[in-house]
Structure 1
Amino acid sequence: MKTIGIIGGMSWESTAEYYKQLNEGVKQHKGGLHSAKIILNSVDFAEIELLQRSGEWDKSAVLLCDAAQSIERAGADFVLIATNTMHKVAEQVQEAVSIPLLHIADTTGEVLVEKGITKVGLLGTAFTMEEAFYKQRLSDKFGIEVVVPNGVQRKLVHDVIYNELCLGKVNRRSKDDFHTIISDLAESGAQGVILGCTEIGLLVSQDETDTPLFDTVELHALAAVKEALR
């Protein structure tokens, strides 16, 4: 079994879900007392969030590159960035190490193609929804059209992520607001909606809507388990 490296802590709530799903996936495939081989470098999210807010992405890239290098030195065979937003610096992280980086947008795009999705809604931080690094990868590499909520809805989604979900808070009103946004995206022609922030799965789930949801934590973890056992 290969050893999975994780750059986590962004937020720790979603990293805990990664840890759970990776171990459950390995146990499902191998049975018994088997669990995933994992090396985790968990950063201080407050430092990362401050750099995000101030637009100092190069400095945040240095922090993640250092984390990736420490993971490689510790013996990981490949590495995950356990957050969608920080894939903005994924290329820098990949260049900093010799082990492969399993890109979260690629693992999502592959499943969308398998499901025949050609137009998809995207929920995430403002950075993920509004900038090109994530949407363009899905478009260029997989031929998928990506649509996002309107400006007011994007601000709501962003604020709920940072002010509630990243602090471990799950509010009923926010859940209702997210489902309204998901419905609006479906009405605009989206065949499904990407939960493109690793905390959103803590708030909404597939059994609450008829619109297909693609939880990036689940898809990223499934791909990592497959790679670890390949």
Structure 2
Amino acid sequence: MKTIGLLGGMSWESTVSYYRALNEGVKAARGGLHSARIILNSLEFAEIETLQSKGDWQALADILVEAGLSVERAGADGLLICTNTMHKVAPEVQAALSIPLLHIADATGEVLKSAGIRQIGLLGTRYTMEQPFYRDRIEQQFGIDVLVPDLAERDAIHRIIFEELCQGVISDASRSVFLDAISALAGRGAQGVILGCTEIALLVKPSDTDVPLFDTTQIHVDQAVRWVLDIAR
């Protein structure tokens, strides 16, 4: 079994989901007392969020490169960045490492393509929804059109992610905001919606809507479990 490295803490709320799901996935595949071999570097999220707000992505790249190298030095065979937004600096991280980085958008795109999706909605932080690093990767590599909510909805979603979900706050009112955005995207032609922030699945569940939801945390973990166990898709 390979050892998977995790860059977590962005936020730690969703990193808990990664840790649990990775171990559950390995146990489901191997049975008994089997669990995942994991090396975790959990970053200080307040520092990350401040740099995001300032738009200092070079400083963020430097932090994640050093964190990735520390995980590689500790013996990881591959790396997961446990957040969608920070995949903005994934190219810099991968360039610095000699181990593979399993990209969350690639894992998601493969699942969407297998499901026959041609047009998909995307929810996430403002950075993920508005900047091209995530949308373009899915559109260009997988031929899938990506729709995002309108400006007011994007602002509300971003606020809820940072002021509530990243701090462990779950509210029915905020769930309604997300469900309204999901319905609006479906009304515009989306065949499903990407939960493109690893905290969103803490708030919105498939049982909450008839629109197919694609949870990037679980998709990323499923890819990693197959990779560490050498299981073909």
State the TM-score bracket (shorter-chain normalisation): over 0.9
User: What is aligned with 2:212?
Assistant: 212
Deviation at 1:12, TM superposition (A): 0.1
Deviations 1:68-123 (Å, cap 9, x if unpaired)?
Answer: 00000011000000000000000000011100000000000000000000100000
User: What is aligned with 1:93?
Assistant: 93
Is the counterpart of residue 185 in structure 1 residue 177 in structure 2?
A: no
- Counterpart amino acid of residue 212 in structure 2: P
User: What is aligned with 1:123?
Assistant: 123
- Counterpart amino acid of residue 108 in structure 1: T
Q: Distance in 2 between matches of 1:143 and 1:46?
A: 36
Deviation at 1:129, TM superposition (A): 0.2
Is the counterpart of residue 25 in structure 1 residue 25 in structure 2?
A: yes
Q: Distance in 1 between matches of 2:151 and 2:180?
A: 14
Is the counterpart of residue 139 in structure 1 residue 139 in structure 2?
A: yes
Deviation at 1:21, TM superposition (A): 0.3
- Counterpart amino acid of residue 210 in structure 1: D
Q: Distance in 1 between matches of 2:124 and 2:178?
A: 11
Matches within 5 A, 1:52-63: 52-63=52-63
Q: Which runs of 5+ in 1 are unaligned?
A: none
Deviation at 1:208, TM superposition (A): 1.2
User: What is aligned with 1:9?
Assistant: 9
Supply the RMSD in Å over aligned alpha carbons. 0.4
TM-score (norm. length: structure 2): 0.98
Q: Secondary structure at the match of 1:99?
A: coil
Is the counterpart of residue 47 in structure 1 residue 41 in structure 2?
A: no
Q: Secondary structure at the match of 1:61?
A: helix
Deviation at 1:207, TM superposition (A): 1.0
Deviations 1:24-71 (Å, cap 9, x if unpaired)?
Answer: 000000000000000000000000000000010000110000000000
Q: Secondary structure at the match of 1:197?
A: coil
Q: Secondary structure at the match of 2:146?
A: strand
Deviations 1:162-195 (Å, cap 9, x if unpaired)?
Answer: 0000000001100011111100100100000000
Deviations 1:120-143 (Å, cap 9, x if unpaired)?
Answer: 000000000000000000011000
- The runs of at least 4 aligned residues of structure 1 exceeding 4 Å deviation read none
User: What is aligned with 1:225?
Assistant: 225
User: What is aligned with 1:109?
Assistant: 109
TM-score (norm. length: structure 1): 1.00
Q: Distance in 1 between matches of 2:155 and 2:208?
A: 23
User: What is aligned with 2:199?
Assistant: 199
